[in-house]
Chain A
Amino acid sequence: MSFITAFIWSYFMWLILTAGSKGLLWNSQELIAGLIFSAIVGYATRNIIGERASRFLNPVKWILFIAYAPVLFWGMIKANLDVAYRVITGKIRPGIVKVPVNLENDAQYTILSNSITLTPGTLTIEASPEEKVLYVHWINIPKGLEWPESSEPVSGPFEKWARRLGK
Chain B
Amino acid sequence: MSDMGVIVKTNARALIPLIGVFGSYIILHGHLTPGGGFQGGATIVGTALLFLIAFGVDEAKKRINKDLYSALEGIGGLVFLGAAMLGLSVAFFYNILWHKGPLFNGRPGTLLSAGFLPIMNLGVGLKVFTGLVSAVFALALFRRWKE
Q: Which A residues form the contact surface with B (CB < 8 A)? A: 6, 9-11, 13-14, 17-18, 21, 27, 29-30, 33, 37-38, 40-42, 44-45, 47-50, 53, 106-107, 109-110, 113-114, 124, 126-127, 129
Q: Are B22 and A17 in contact (CB under 8 A)?
A: yes
In this complex, the interface size class of chain B, counting residues with CB under 8 Å from chain A, is 20 to 34
CB closest chain-B residue, reference A32: B111
26 of the cross-chain contacts (CB-CB < 8 Å) are A6-B17, A9-B14, A13-B22, A17-B21, A17-B22, A17-B25, A21-B111, A29-B110, A29-B112, A37-B28, A38-B21, A41-B20, A41-B21, A41-B24, A44-B20, A45-B20, A48-B12, A48-B16, A49-B13, A49-B16, A106-B9, A110-B10, A110-B11, A113-B7, A114-B11, A127-B7
In the assembly, what is the distance between CA of A126 and CA of B8, in Å?
10
- Name the distance in Å between A75's Cβ and chain B's nearest Cβ: 19
In the assembly, what is the distance between CA of A49 and CA of B25, in Å?
20
Q: Are A47 and B63 in contact (CB under 8 A)?
A: yes
Which residues of chain B have C-beta atoms less than 8 A from A10's C-beta? 17-18, 20-21
B16-55 near A? 1/0 per residue, CB < 8 Å? 1110111011001000000000000000000100010000
A109/B17 contact (C-beta < 8 A), A13-B22, A33-B28, A37-B24 known:
no
Q: Are A14 and B21 in contact (CB under 8 A)?
A: yes
Which listed residue, A17, A27, A45, touches B17 by the CB 8 Å rule? A45
